[in-house]
Amino acid sequence: MIPEVFGRVGILFTLAIAFPMLPIMVSFLLYQLKIRPENPNPIKLATYECGVEAEGSSWGQFNARYYLFALGFVIFDVEVIFLYPWAVEHQELALTVLWKAVLFIGILLLGLVYAWRKRALEWR
């Protein structure tokens, strides 16, 4: 049952790749038929920077602010995924399990409060 259903997803995956390939292929074909222009020159191929020359490469260091949010995301997303098995079985389980789930999230919410107090959620 499971391989059958995921096999269907796999077939849709190949179509999902083929679908956006189609217009790009047509565009390439138009180039082969000399309908679409292809006249590169150094200025055209330069990195766009609103009319001035681009200063340096952008492959380098970046504002650390974004990574703090990414760390918070990793913690919370993993936590929520752990809660899904509990959510599915919740109605059959005893009520004590609910308090354990509250405790589990509570510990992580303490982390959120800590990050908040440390001003990691402000955008400076």
Partner 1 sequence: MSSDTRPATPMSRQIAEHRSLLDRALGLPKLVLVALSVALIGFVISQILIGYMVVSGQLDGKWYDIRDFGNAMVSLSDAINSSGMDSRIASTLTYLIPTLLGATGIVSVVGGWLLIGPWAERRLLAKFQIRQGPNRTGPFGLLQSLADALKLMQKEIIIPRGADRFLYFAPPIAVFIPAILGWAPIPWSPKMSYADLDVGVLFVIAISSLGVLAVFMAGWASNNHYSLLGAMRTIAMMISYEIPISVSLLAVVLLTGSTKLSEIVMWQSEQGVWLIMLIPFAALAFLFASTAEINRTPNDIGEAESEIVAGFYTEYSGMKAGLFMAVELGNAILVGALMSTFFLGGYTFFGLETWIPGYLILATKIGLVYFLFVWIRATLPRFRLDQLMGFAWKFLIPVSIALMFLTAIESSILVRWDAPSFLSLGLIALVNVAAAVGLTFVWMRVLFRDTDLSAPPAPILTRKMGGLQAAKVLRG
Residues lying near partner 1 in the complex (CB under 8 A):
2, 4-9, 11-13, 15-17, 19-21, 23-24, 26-27, 30, 35-40, 42, 44-50, 54, 57-59, 62-63, 66, 69-70, 72-73, 76-77, 80-81, 83-84, 87-91, 95, 98, 101-102, 105, 109, 112, 116, 121-123
Burial class (CB in 10 A: 0-12, 13-18, 19+), 26: exposed
Q: What are the percentages of helix, strand and coil residues in the chain, rounded to 5? A: 65, 0, 35
Q: Cβ of residue 30: shortest distance to partner 1, in angstroms?
A: 6
Give the largest CA-CA distance in the chain: 72
Q: Cβ of residue 32: shortest distance to partner 1, in angstroms?
A: 13
